[in-house]
Chains A and B, each alone.
Chain A
Amino acid sequence: MELLLAVIAGVLYSTGIYLMLRRRLAQLIIGLGLLSNGTNILILSAAGVTRGKPPLITPITTRADQFADPVPQSLILTAIVIGFGVLAFALVLAHRVRRSTGSDDIDTIGPDRV
């Protein structure tokens, strides 16, 4: 399971960074989305995967091997919320760039003088 998650995280990172290096804004944003999902999977697998156990301590699950570590899950939850907000902002920005310049190619949007 860890191996599979590690491979998925690696694939998401590499495709994310590849897309961020492209010239179009839409690809930049998709790349950012993939990158943040890759990070979430990495947090999950780096902290150790526990299968089929809740991240809760109840009267019957008190030993450490009976519940999953809740911290990485809450970190991922926070990261998803932040990532969602930021991605929404990036989309609006791209939309505005597209509307005011008629293009989403970074080379043609560039500042008129450097």
Chain B
Amino acid sequence: MLLALPILVPLTTAITLQLLPQHPRLLRRVAFAGAICALASAISMLLQVEAAGIQVLRVGSWPAPYGITLVSDLFSALLVTMVGIIGVAITASSFAGVDPRREALGYHPLIQVLLMGVSGAFLTGDIFNLYVWFEVMLIASFVLMSLYRTRAQLHAAYTYVGLNLLASALLLTAIGLLYGQAGTLNFADLARAWPERGTPALDGALAMLFLTAFGIKAGLFPLFFWLPASYHTPPAAVGALLAGLLTKVGVYAMIRIFTLLFPHPAAGVYTVILVLSATTMIVGLVGAIGQRDFRRVLSFNLVGHIGFTTVGLALWTPAALGGSILYVLHHMLVITTLFLVSGLFLRQRRTTDLRQLGGLYRSQPAVACLAMIPLFSLAGVPPLSGFIAKVAVIGAVLNTDHYVIAAIALATSLLTMLSMARVWEEAFWKPAAANPAQARLSAAIVAPIVWLVCLTLGITVAAGPVYGLSMRAATQLLDANGYVRAVLGEGADAAR
């Protein structure tokens, strides 16, 4: 039952929000309370998984390969907890004011539906169900993205919609072919039965189809172009939600499917993933250097850092995969914080164009110091969470003797440093333009940033336990037998 809560709580909240009288203050409070409950259920699930191993819920009591199962291992539980944390931050940021038209068009329920879709994708143990959760999450994000009418926003919305629908069609194609081969849709049953039944010719094609579909969602090179074209247009809270969660669902699905279904680390597809990860780092972070708008800088950084989260899958060692998991956790927190910081810029100066910003350190020293933490955490300055995650990834890469990849990771970290330092210099240190329009910052707009920054610092303070959890999650992922036994019962084994 605990496993269904992170899905049921946002669903209940979304329905309640639709039924309540449409007073903005009431809606915001209910949405926030729902997010708190979802976080609480996610944390209790994480504690249970941490103590008692992989948890399985057979929905409707149908036995495992026939009905839909919800499965939570450490990786899923950690990510669902992150969804809860980000959900709390985003719903809290609505107290600072949401555009009334948007609020009337269902802003709050849509956020809850999006959170539900993401949690569902993290928890499901059935590949077709994964597709359905992807669609739930996408349609919510489509509507959130296209609630606006300016040219740039509409352009961004259909780029986003078109590319994501193409990815969904590819995913569905891969699922259809996989079912034709294996005759089952359950992850554990697929891991048990498919590698021996599959034909080698189709193996490669399926792996590439999955890689393309999830690569588009995750923003891997060369499939990322929709992301910087669309993430800078919606309001800061929506941008933060999409940036923090959606690409990570692509990364999650990729790690889940490939560890279970394509277990041979020598398979060619892992070389492809390795090369794409390295190229993603280079292209994303070189792209970030040339941008003049803060949110476009962030979008390109988001793309570049996806490379760090997939490199662990390509290397297929517990240390590398664990490093990537830690990186996912850190990156979800920090990129969401930075998109919320862009909301501060919008609130104060009505722009996120770095050329027009400036003097924010002089006018708001406390807020500037607060914003400094995620900026430099993303760049990997010790002792912040980015440094710890980068050490974990790059150390594991060096241990597998991929010196070129390690060099690329280090060089692109310098590029991140460069782009973040430029943001700091342009937005905070540079003298302000003559008479900038100043708006007062309410506590409600700063509070979510404080919450996320505290958690980023929490990763620094509790680096040992968090690192340990990531490593255990990676070991669990690489041991497909454990997953298969937890779902199908003792005696079942993955075909290896």
Contact = CB atoms under 8 A, between A and B. Distances in A.
Interface of A: 16, 20, 25, 28, 32, 35-36, 39, 42-43, 45-48, 69, 71-72, 75, 78-79, 82, 85-86, 89-90, 93-94, 96-97, 100-101, 109-112
Given A32-B165, A86-B139, A97-B158, A46 B179 contact: yes
Nearest to B156: A111
Interface size class of B (residues with CB under 8 A): 20 to 34
Nearest to A16: B169
Interface stretch (B17-25, B143-151, B374-382): B143-151
A39 B155 contact: no
B468 to A, nearest CB: 40
B169 A100 contact: no
Q: What are the 9 tightest A-B residue pairs by CB atom distance, in nearest-first order?
A: A46-B180, A43-B176, A111-B152, A35-B169, A39-B172, A47-B180, A111-B155, A82-B135, A97-B154
A97 B161 CA distance: 13
28 contacts: A32-B166, A36-B169, A42-B173, A42-B176, A46-B176, A46-B179, A69-B183, A71-B185, A72-B176, A75-B128, A75-B176, A82-B135, A86-B139, A86-B165, A86-B168, A90-B158, A93-B142, A93-B146, A93-B154, A93-B161, A100-B154, A101-B154, A109-B151, A109-B155, A111-B151, A111-B155, A111-B156, A112-B151
A38 B132 CA distance: 18
B300 to A, nearest CB: 13
B104 interface: no
Interface of B: 128, 132, 135, 138-139, 142-143, 146, 149, 151-152, 154-158, 161-162, 165-166, 168-169, 172-173, 175-177, 179-181, 183, 185
A30 to B, nearest CB: 12
Chain A residues touching B, majority SS: helix
Contact of B166 (A20, A43, A45, A46): A20
Contacts of A94: 158
Contact of A72 (B138, B173, B179): B179
B179 A101 contact: no
B324 to A, nearest CB: 31
A42 B161 CA distance: 23
Contacts of A110: 155
A90 to B, nearest CB: 6
Given A71-B185, A109-B155, 10 more contacts: A28-B158, A75-B175, A85-B139, A86-B138, A89-B139, A89-B161, A96-B146, A96-B149, A97-B158, A109-B151
Contacts of B168: 86
